[in-house]
A and B are shown apart, each in its own frame.
Chain A
Amino acid sequence: MSVLVYTENWDGKFKKLTFELVSYASEIAKMLNTGLTAVSIGKTGNSELAKAGKYGASKIISIDNEHLKVLDSQAYTNVISEIARAEKASVIVLSNNNTGRAIAPRLSVSLKAGVGSGVSKLPLNINPFTVYKRTYSGNAFAHVVIKSDIRILTLAQNSFELIETPDNSTIVKIDVPVDSALVKTTVKEVQKQTGRILLTDADIVVSGGRGMKSPDNWAPLVEFASLLGAATACSRPVSDEGWRPHEEHTGQTGKIIAPNLYIAVGISGSTQHLAGVSSSKFIVAINTDKDAPIFEAAQYGIVGDAMKVLPKLVDALKKAK
């Protein structure tokens, strides 16, 4: 028996979310009294791979195959399924990010393993195996019993702390045959976001809504965000109007995020918006309407016009630096 964690890399590097995953999976391995194996696909150097050992992986499997350069969910599923069988995995942990969500459901069918998706806590119980997950877009949480012998969990980003452990890891490079005929995905073009903090990775997010009044008013919000080292986001009407790119839309149908601090500027806080941000550790609201529902979700609030409040916040931050 073992616990398996899929450690995705980005151009050969891990991210904080990788170590959250490994820490989480390592705690589950302890609950089950077993070891943790990490699986990495792609060209990742030994020093980077070894970092998974710092958070509790005892075995780190590295697979580098030219047919796996592109994320083809079918090909990835076959490889991870095979490793899971060889390692006799009883729990498989992936991120609830785009990659994890592409692979987990396929793995589920391939291994006949029930999935707890978007979990944010350790399992409530291991017999029966019960997980705690967000449902109704954050308006309810479910205790879900996974009845299969193998369980797949996808962990929500920024929901688990990093736990360092003594490193006893070994790196194993293995060759897995990949049938190139099975890889159907062809990438024609890659457009990478550069220079800005990724919304889903950010510890702090500053988000603007209709209260910003015009697409031309965003400069103080962007400056405020940059001074805080924050990512920028927006509400649905703002992205629908094309004031900001749709990648910035946070809310039920946009990105679901859980930063340490979410600052909502000129956002009234509809049920749908809150569904995307309610897992944030702290919420700050700046809005002209004191009765706006965002203040019910917020710990700190300022009733005022964003155009007047933001420049003052920018000044205060500059002074403090």
Chain B
Amino acid sequence: MKILVCISNVPDTTTKIKLAEGSRTIDTTGIQWVINPWDELSLTRALELKDDPSAGVKSVSVIHVGPASSDPTIRKALAIGADDALRVNTESSDAFFVAAQIAEIIKKEHYDLVFCGIESSDYNGSLVGGMVAEFLGMPSVSAVSSIRIENGQPVIVREIDGGKEVITLPVPFVAIVQKGIAKEPRIAAMRGIMMARTKAIRLFEPVHVEPLTEIVTLEKPAPRKACKFIDAENPAQLLELLQNEAKVI
């Protein structure tokens, strides 16, 4: 079984977001770029499956759509243990554009399982995984919080509103992965980091696709009003305020 993990390159999640001049993009000065947290968990789970001989996973590849400046993030994925890395060499645009590029590669290279994080921490779109599947006419399953392989057949837990479902579906399919899939992201060991330096990132040219959406302006959220403090000895006053001032209880 071959697994492909789609990875996005996002600002470190502790970044204080500032807007660039013109407010169409963020100011990237000083930003640390990381693997999107859900993609990192997907990759971790893919590697755990590969480490388990009974799962029968032969290789774990990662794919990224973006320019050469994303290579350090792709190398992190290699350092963690990915066997192979692919990059579609283009400025990424909207989810439709990115998904079309990934689908194009999957048509050429066969994968049994495609993992996508449920959203990226920058655009919060929750779109790429489902779009890739639809481009390929492949099944997809969303909100996957657990995946194991039994007798060559993936068994999945997906979250539904108000519970969970244990489901199966035949490969190939796209698993859109959320929290719970792996406990903690895997950390690169020194040996992995050294090896990642010499592994090649395979480059692909983009196909022409018109994006369907465009961000025209970004704005910062309105600042919150100052906090009203209530005496810890008399917390009942809080209930009064919630009842009569905020009117929420």
B-contacting residues of A (Cβ < 8 Å)? 8, 10, 70-74, 77, 96-99, 101-106, 108-110, 112-118, 130, 133-148, 154, 184-193, 198, 200-201, 203-204, 228, 240, 246-247, 249, 252-254, 260-261, 270-272, 275, 278, 281-285, 295-305, 308-309, 312-313, 316-317, 320
Question: Can you add 4 more A-B contacts, CB < 8 Å, to A105-B131, A114-B94?
Answer: A109-B131, A135-B122, A253-B37, A254-B179
- B residues 192-227 near A (Cβ < 8 Å) are 211-221, 224-225, 227
Instruction: Return chain A residues, CB-CB under 8 Å to B17.
Output: 136, 139-140
6 contacts between A and B (CB under 8 A): A106-B133, A108-B95, A114-B94, A115-B95, A142-B219, A184-B173
Number of interface residues of B (CB under 8 A): 85
Given the contacts A135-B122, A189-B165, A253-B37, A302 and B213 also touching, CB distance less than 8 Å: no
In the complex, residue of chain B having the shortest beta-carbon distance to the beta carbon of A249: B179
In the complex, residue of chain B having the shortest beta-carbon distance to the beta carbon of A72: B139
* Contact (Cβ within 8 A) A112 B212: yes
* Cβ 8 A contact of A185, one of B26, B127, B169: B169
0 or 1 for each of B146-187: is its CB under 8 Å from A? (1 = yes): 000000000100111111111111100100100110011000
* Contact (Cβ within 8 A) B142 A73: yes
* Contact (Cβ within 8 A) B37 A143: no
Instruction: Return chain A residues, CB-CB under 8 Å to B179.
Output: 246, 249, 253-254
Instruction: Return chain B residues, CB-CB under 8 Å to A270.
Output: 14
A-contacting residues of B (Cβ < 8 Å)? 11, 13-17, 19, 26, 37-38, 41, 94-96, 99, 118, 121-131, 133-135, 137, 139-143, 145, 155, 158-170, 173, 176, 179-180, 183-184, 211-221, 224-225, 227-232, 235-236, 238-239, 241-242, 246, 248-249
* Contact (Cβ within 8 A) B162 A10: yes
* Contact (Cβ within 8 A) B26 A140: yes
* Contact (Cβ within 8 A) B118 A101: yes
In the complex, residue of chain A having the shortest beta-carbon distance to the beta carbon of B169: A184
* Contact (Cβ within 8 A) B124 A140: no
The answer for the CA separation of A298 and B37 in the assembled complex, in Å, is 26
Instruction: Return chain B residues, CB-CB under 8 Å to A188.
Output: 155, 165-168
* Contact (Cβ within 8 A) A97 B161: yes
**Prevailing SS type, chain A contact patch:** mixed
- How far apart are B7's CB and chain A's nearest CB, in angstroms? 15
* Contact (Cβ within 8 A) B161 A102: no
Given the contacts A115-B127, A135-B122, A190-B165, A272 and B227 also touching, CB distance less than 8 Å: no
Instruction: Return chain B residues, CB-CB under 8 Å to A200.
Output: 161
Interface hub of A102, A252, A272, A303 (most chain B Cβ within 10 A): A102
In the complex, residue of chain A having the shortest beta-carbon distance to the beta carbon of B36: A253
- How far apart are B21's CB and chain A's nearest CB, in angstroms? 15
* Contact (Cβ within 8 A) B215 A101: no
* Cβ 8 A contact of A204, one of B142, B217, B248: B248
Given the contacts A98-B142, A186-B168, A272-B13, A313 and B235 also touching, CB distance less than 8 Å: yes
Instruction: Return chain B residues, CB-CB under 8 Å to A96.
Output: 126
The answer for the CA separation of A139 and B18 in the assembled complex, in Å, is 9
* Contact (Cβ within 8 A) A184 B139: yes
- How far apart are B242's CB and chain A's nearest CB, in angstroms? 7
Instruction: Return chain A residues, CB-CB under 8 Å to B167.
Output: 70, 185-188
Interface hub of A74, A109, A144, A246 (most chain B Cβ within 10 A): A109
Given the contacts A114-B94, A116-B213, A101 and B236 also touching, CB distance less than 8 Å: no
In the complex, residue of chain A having the shortest beta-carbon distance to the beta carbon of B135: A109
The answer for the CA separation of A193 and B162 in the assembled complex, in Å, is 5
Instruction: Return chain B residues, CB-CB under 8 Å to A143.
Output: 215-219
* Contact (Cβ within 8 A) A118 B126: yes
* Contact (Cβ within 8 A) B230 A300: yes
The answer for the CA separation of A26 and B19 in the assembled complex, in Å, is 34
Given the contacts A102-B130, A190-B163, A139 and B232 also touching, CB distance less than 8 Å: no
The answer for the CA separation of A105 and B211 in the assembled complex, in Å, is 14
* Contact (Cβ within 8 A) A101 B126: yes
Please provide the 5 A-B residue pairs with the shortest distance between their CB atoms, ordered closest to farther.
A304-B232, A105-B130, A114-B212, A102-B142, A316-B236
